[in-house]
Every structure is written in structure tokens, then in C-alpha cells.
Amino acid sequence: IHELNSELRVESERSLMMRSADVLEKITSKRPTGIRTPSWDYSDATLQIIREMGLTYDSSLMADDNCYELLEDEEPTGVIEIPVEWIRDDATYLWMSPDGSSRPDSSLDDVLSVFIREFEGAYQDADLFQLTLHPHVIGY
């Protein structure tokens, strides 16, 4: 399931999010408490669906380097954003080229070096460090 939420009808987006949560619960015996939307894509309904599902966090947006509470109509939602960043996404180096014509020419050592530097900087500043990793890109 990796559709773009912004291209779906609200009913389809809600159904896919609910079915995804159901599958994860079936596999792990635990209901998910958060979400990372496919391709970090949000629709006008995504936050409302997240709240309907009772999720406590999202990790799809980039408005800050550290966690923050999402607002809706300038009101707190109770949903915490764990922000993503392109520099900490494996697909940036191993799957997508800037012009879309070919795979980028990054070695795993180069990617690891970037991730290590990002971790060290976050550790030094007591900031958030999180990665976006795709099994079909980085391997498993």
C-alpha cells in the first residue's frame, strides 16, 4: 500500500489507512499508535483520519528538526509530529535521481557516512535522529 493520499478520495484513504492498521495488528498483536504516510503525502483529510484512528503520532512532515504537536485550525490535536528529512532517507541516495532518469550513483559506504554524520550531529545537539528506510531500497 503506497498510494498518494492527496490523489485518493477520502473514503479510499480512510479505508487504506484502516486496513493497513488492521494488517499490522494481525501480524504483531498490537494496534499501531502512529503512521508515516506513503511518500510523506498528506491530503486535506489525512490529519482528521489520523485523529479518528486514535493515533498519537505522525512521521510524514518536515516543518521542524524536532518533534512538535500538530495543529488543526490553530488548535492542538494531541498528535505529535516526528519530522522526516530528505537527507536521512535511503531512497534519496539509492533509488531516486534528481531528474528521474536513472538510479543515483551512491555507494552504501557513502550513504552510511551521511547517516553517521547526521546521527553524530543530532547526538551532539541532543536533537532527533530518525531514518526513512525502504526494504526494497536499502535491503533487509
Cell of 92: 534519496
Which residue segment(s) compose the domain that 131 sits in?
86-138
Domain check: are 90 and 69 in the same one? no
Residue 23 and residue 72 share a domain: yes
Q: Averaged over 78-93, what is the pLDDT?
A: 93
Same domain, 60 and 103: no
Per-residue model confidence (pLDDT) at position 94 = 87
Q: For residue 18, what pLDDT is reported?
A: 96
10 Å CB burial of residue 82 (0-12, 13-18, 19+) is: middle
Q: What percent of the chain has pLDDT over 90?
A: 69
Cell of 37: 504516510
Residues 90 and 74 reside in one and the same domain:
no
Mean of the per-residue pLDDT values of the chain: 91
pLDDT mean over 84-95: 90
Domain shared by 103 and 73, yes or no: no
Mean pLDDT for 34-40 is: 91
Residues 40 and 101 in one domain: no
23 to each of 16, 31, 69, 92, how far by Cα in Å? 10, 9, 27, 28
Task: Give the residue-averaged pLDDT of 54-83.
Answer: 95
Q: Are residues 106 and 70 in the same domain?
A: no
State the total domains in the chain: 2
Examine the fold and report which residue of 46, 63, 81 is the final residue of a domain before the chain moves on: 81
Q: What is the pLDDT of residues 61-72, one digit of tens each?
A: 998 888 999 999
In sequence order, the β-bridge partners of residue 34 are: 57
| pLDDT (0 to 100) of residue 74 | 96
Cα angle: 88, vertex 82, 79; to 5 degrees: 160
Give the residue from 34, 49, 81 where a domain finishes. 81
Average pLDDT of span 54-65: 93
Tell me if residue 76 falls in helix, strand or coil. strand
pLDDT by residue (tens digit) across 99-140?
A: 666 677 788 899 999 999 999 999 999 999 999 998 888 875
One domain for residues 129 and 69: no
> Do 97 and 73 share a domain, yes or no?
no
State residue 100's pLDDT score.
67
Whether 25 and 64 map to the same domain: the answer is yes
pLDDT at 64: 86
CA dist., res. 86 & res. 74, Å (int): 27
Q: What is the mean predicted confidence (pLDDT) over 81-96?
A: 90
Together in a domain, 105 and 125: yes
- Are 9 and 77 in the same domain? yes
